[in-house]
Amino acid sequence: MPAGARSFVNVDDARRRAKRVLPRVIFDYIDGGAEDELTMSENIAAFRDFAFRPRMAVGAQTPSLSVRLFGTVLRLPVILAPCGLVRLIHPDGPAGIAKAAASRGTISVLSTHAGAPLEAVASASSGPMWFQLYAGGRKEAESLIHKAASAGFAGLVVTVDTPVLGRRERDIRNGVEPPLRIGSRDVVHLGPQVLAKPVWAWRMARDGLRMFGTGTSGRHGGPPGDPGAGVVEPEPSVLRFSNTASPFHWSDIDWMRGIFKGPLLVKGILTADDAERAVACGADGVIVSNHGGRQLEGAPATLRVLPEIVAAVGDEVEVLMDGGIRRGSDVVKAIALGARAVLVGRPYLYGLATAGRPGVGQVLDILGDEMARTLVLLGCPEVDRLDSGWLRPASSSAATS
């Protein structure tokens, strides 16, 4: 492991170090949310609504963190969420993320806009992978789905919360067109940011990836000023659509179910009604998500709506959740409220920025260690025994001595 890879002790520490490494425009792209970022903040705050109900004097043992998901045993119920433009964070990029997930016995989800060909990422990883689909129509979607299946992606994640992009005001303040489209015209006002972060600039230069300009550059594709920067597929219609949105309808989910044979998950679910619609369309799982607070400002925190959705469809499909997870104890709370596993995005991106693939692995190790310690202190021997009986409202947990 390279020097500095073990230099952070928790996710928040990784965030601080990522901020020191990355140009502000890229850090803000990772770290920011929509508008006033209230939904993003509420995702984190929601975990404070719940306190634990521990069982004492049950002895200390090594708890099991394993769960079975669609026939695959995960050693850690923390999945790496799909994130776009990750090659601007570190040259290890999507392949490094996939390798880190495989080495910890979990799943990574490749975004259509991750910045590397899906076949190359799939061949670089020895572990299970899912593919997250963005597309501008059924023709493009069908092509991507078939290529993902041929490359060996076991699951398909369809994100339904981006009919248009949320207003991400940090990007606007930084003077770039969301989502982080940077062209040669931006060199003057962003150049000082790049020069102020020599470690990041050196990594990018060594990898042959130019930050600015036009045309094809680097061995992994064009720079972000190109229309298709960060897009997995080179088809022109996909490239044109990449910087707008992905307005899927329920009829599209039903259609996708007919052409993809593996597990199909619908991401962006926030109500029981929509969860039931996803099940009716043939989904095998739903991901309770508000896009990390990057889309609809004022959407509910995902942890707060998780029980409603589990009650509606938890006996029929797998329910996963993302949003606001910063500690292993957060993972324990989400699973106790009915999630089969969780997805994280920003935490592993902070690790990626700090130390590349080893940094992603360290974030997973940190979350796993925190989960294990929490379970021991709870008196719970394994993740599969968690339920709402291990929690209570935080407001009623206070006691006086």
User: Do β-strands 108-111 and 341-344 pair in parallel, antiparallel, or remain unpaired?
Assistant: unpaired
User: Do β-strands 72-74 and 67-69 pair in parallel, antiparallel, or remain unpaired?
Assistant: antiparallel
DSSP secondary structure letters along 206-242:
HHT--SS-SS--STT---TTSTTTT-S---HHHHHHT
Annotated catalytic residue within 90, 146, 249, 291: 291
Helical axes 328-336 vs 302-313, angle rounded to 10° = 30
According to DSSP, residue 146 is labeled H
142 with 136: CB under 8 angstroms?
Answer: no
The DSSP H or E segment spanning 157 is strand 155-159
The token pair at 215 is 């045309």
Residues contacting 179, CB < 8 A, separation 6+ = 29, 84, 85, 113, 165, 168, 171, 243
**Catalytic site includes residue 291:** yes
Alpha carbon 330 to its chain centroid, in Å, reads 15
Please list the active-site residues.
Answer: 291
